[in-house]
Chain A
Amino acid sequence: MPFQHILFSIDDDGVALLSLNRPEQLNSFNGAMHLEVREALKQVRQSEHARVLLLTGEGRGFCAGQDLSDRNVAPGAEMPDLGESIEKFYNPLVRSLRDLPLPVICAVNGVAAGAGANLPLACDLVLAARSASFIQAFCKIGLVPDSGGTWLLPRLIGMARAKALALLGERLSAEQAEQWGLIYRVVDDAALRDEALTLARQLATQPTYGLALIKRALNQSYDNRFDQQLELERDLQRLAGRSEDYREGVSAFMNKRAPAFKGR
């Protein structure tokens, strides 16, 4: 299936690149783009080669959230059920990114607003261009932050800052986002794509099955009590200990050579 609203490829290094590609609309989501992103993520999941996913956007913006021209409410028209598009599109997307059994890097290349500001938070490592910004724009039009925002924001930056962002809808600069711990790292605009790709290629040589288990453990840690988390660590370590990569890692260490991991 040829894609129209995204760019998607899986290269020989095992890096899957998914770039939102509606630059004129700041890569805002419409139904068609959702379906393409869903198809691409499905291909990543089913691929034998993909070891890392890099998510980014084309043009000057990262993602402006929902394309409101898709949702224009005429005066007097019946009220739309926004819950339906959350249920059908945004929630599955966020779950899919979080549950993907490989590391997901997000390179926020420009403005990230609405759902577009929350998607990166569902990824594992977020880099942002120095000129990028995050805007919880929902409150400006009478809506609630979705795509996991109300859950992830307080856990990442604390309730006080989460409430300020969500209630005021002010623009948060990439640098401030980094200082607050909302994202991993700020990168100069011109270097963003290269740095993100370098990081992705480097991760793709790592024991990515183990990395996926780490991601799973950390994702679940917010939900679990301490004792449950200890049990989860036991179970995931049991799985990790049976991986080829673990065997290879130990063997390489004992033989003082560089390991060749396969991601399984």
Chain B
Amino acid sequence: MPSNLVVQPPVDGVRLLTLHRPQALNALSTELLAELAAELEAAERDEHTRAVIITGSRKAFAAGADINEMAERDLVGILNDPRVSHWQRIAAFAKPLIAAVNGYALGGGCELVMCADIVIAGSDARFGQPEINLGVIPGAGGTQRLLRAVGKPLAMQMVLSGEAIDARHALQAGLVSEVTEPELAVERALQVARVIAAKAPLAVRLAKEALLKAQDTDLATGLRFERHAFTLLAGTADRNEGIRAFQEKRPARFLGQ
């Protein structure tokens, strides 16, 4: 089957997914989105995968959705759009997801970036939600996650004007965590992923869940969740190993138990 996604088997617990539709600047066709969702689900089941990186090419992370596809759907078509469930599956990925972004991350591409937990951007990356130029609005979290990431004024400016921002602006606004030389973005993402992959998997998973809770609950609920997660971890072997290794001044060996 010809694939739009290049999947590298996990090395040191890190799986690398490369969006590969060079003729379309990696536009997120429904097929590509479905492949991505399926790969993430496979990565979630795979015990050797402890973190996943998504990247595109030097020129484009993903330059949006497939406009031709979108044009074909009427109201009913959009109501029954399979993309919605693909996006939900991608956003539900429970292991750490890192986006290594070069070039354009626009529309659906920017929304995919915002599904990632950590974003490393090459200095020539550009982020934007240009949907408004087509008479539509972002439909996969672009109005919701962007506002939570960068705050209201910039989110409004980006979504209402359709104008993109560069990597430096995105860093300052909180949309990305780190900016690197373009050629080193994937490499840096791999470094960060390997560091995370060496931690206790259950702790990583609960930490991610707790952090995401902060975005959609009130503080009291979030704090309660954090405390429950904290308590849960007390029952794991890795916690005992982590603390003992610290006391014995040696590296910990986590087993995910």
**CB of A239 within 8 A of chain B?**
yes
**Measured CA separation A243–B184 after assembly (Å):** 14
**Closest Cβ of chain B: how far from A212's Cβ, in Å?**
11
User: Distance (Å) between the CB of B228 and the closest chain A CB?
Assistant: 40
> How would residues 220 to 248 of chain A score, 1 for a CB under 8 Å from any chain B CB and 0 otherwise?
00000000000010011011000000000
Closest CB-CB distance, B58 to chain A, in whole Å? 12
Q: Point out the residues of chain A lying under 8 angstroms from B183, CB to CB.
A: 239
Smallest CB–CB gap between B167 and chain A, Å? 14
B180 within 8 A of A: yes
CA distance A238 to B188 in the complex (A): 12
A242: nearest residue on chain B (CB-CB)? B183
CB distance from A41 to the nearest CB of B (A): 16
What CA separation (Å) do A232 and B181 show in the bound complex?
8
Which of B180, B181, B184 has the most CB atoms of chain A within a 10 A radius of its CB? Answer: B181
The number of chain B residues touching the other chain, given as a range, is under 10
The count of chain A contact residues (Cβ–Cβ below 8 Å) is: 5
Residues 173 to 200 of chain B near chain A (Cβ within 8 Å): 180-181, 183-184
How far apart sit A239 and B184, CA to CA, in the bound complex (Å)?
A: 8
Complex CA–CA separation, A67 to B181 (angstroms): 37
Would you list which residues of chain B between 203 and 217 have a CB under 8 Å from chain A?
none
Say how far B177's CB is from chain A's closest CB, in angstroms. Answer: 16
Q: How far is the CB of A192 from chain B (nearest CB, A)?
A: 35
**CA A140 to CA B180, docked complex, whole Å:** 42
Minimum CB–CB distance from A88 to chain B (whole Å) comes to: 15
Residues on B with C-beta less than 8 A from A238 are 184
0 or 1 for each of A123-138: is its CB under 8 Å from B? (1 = yes)? 0000000000000000
Q: For the complex formed, measure the closest distance between the CB of A218 and the CB atoms of chain B, giving whole angstroms.
A: 15
Query: Residue of B at shortest CB range from A223?
Result: B168
Q: Tell me the minimal C-beta distance from B37 to chain A in angstroms.
A: 34
CA distance A36 to B227 in the complex (A): 64
Min Cβ gap B110→A in Å is 23
Bound together, the chains give a CA A219 to CA B181 distance in angstroms of: 14
Question: How far, in Å, is B47 (CB) from chain A's closest CB?
Answer: 32
- Cβ contacts A103-114/B at 8 Å (1 or 0 each): 000000000000
A87 to B81, CA, bound (A): 40
**Which A residue's beta carbon lies closest to that of B188?**
A235
Chain B residue with Cβ nearest A216: B181
Q: With A and B bound together, what is the CA distance between A239 and B180 in angstroms?
A: 12
Q: Given the complex of chains A and B, what is the CA–CA distance between A236 and B184 in angstroms?
A: 9
Q: Which of chain B's residues have a CB closer than 8 A to the CB of A236?
A: 181
Assembly CA distance A49 to B183 (angstroms): 21
Alpha-carbon distance between A43 and B181 when the two chains are bound, in angstroms: 23
| Complex contacts, A232 vs chain B, CB 8 Å | 181
- Smallest beta-carbon distance A172→chain B, Å: 34
Which chain B residues border A235 with CB–CB below 8 Å?
Answer: 180-181, 184
Q: Chain A's nearest CB lies how many Å from the CB of B154?
A: 20
Whole-angstrom distance between the Cβ of A42 and the nearest chain B Cβ = 13
**How close is A141's CB to chain B, nearest CB, in angstroms?**
31
Cα–Cα distance between A235 and B184 once the two chains are bound (Å) = 8
What separation, in Å, do the CA atoms of A239 and B183 have in the docked complex? 8
A238 CA to B183 CA, complexed, in Å: 10
B181: chain A residues within 8 A (beta carbon): 232, 235-236, 239
**Residues in A whose Cβ lies below 8 Å from that of B180:** 235
CA distance in complex: A238, B180 (Å): 13
A235 to B191, CA, bound (A): 14
Which residue of chain A has the shortest Cβ distance to B123 in the bound complex? A220
Q: Which chain B residues lie closer than 8 Å to A239 at the CB level?
A: 181, 183-184
Task: Output the nearest chain A residue to B184 by Cβ-Cβ distance.
Answer: A235
Chain B nearest CB, measured from A252 CB (Å): 25
Q: Once the chains are docked, how many angstroms separate the CA of A258 from the CA of B135?
A: 61
In the complex, what distance in Å separates the CA atom of A236 from the CA atom of B183?
9
- In the complex, A10→B161 CA distance in Å? 40
- Smallest Cβ-Cβ distance to B187: which chain A residue: A238
Closest to A235 in B: B181
In the complex, chain B residues 151-185 whose Cβ is within 8 Å of any chain A Cβ? 180-181, 183-184
Interface CB pairs A-B, < 8 A, 9:
A232-B181, A235-B180, A235-B181, A235-B184, A236-B181, A238-B184, A239-B181, A239-B183, A239-B184
Give the interface of A toward B (CB within 8 A): 232, 235-236, 238-239
A-B pairs, top 5 by smallest CB distance, nearest first, are A235-B181, A239-B183, A235-B184, A236-B181, A235-B180
Other 6 A-B pairs with CB < 8 A, given A235-B181, A235-B184, A238-B184: A232-B181, A235-B180, A236-B181, A239-B181, A239-B183, A239-B184
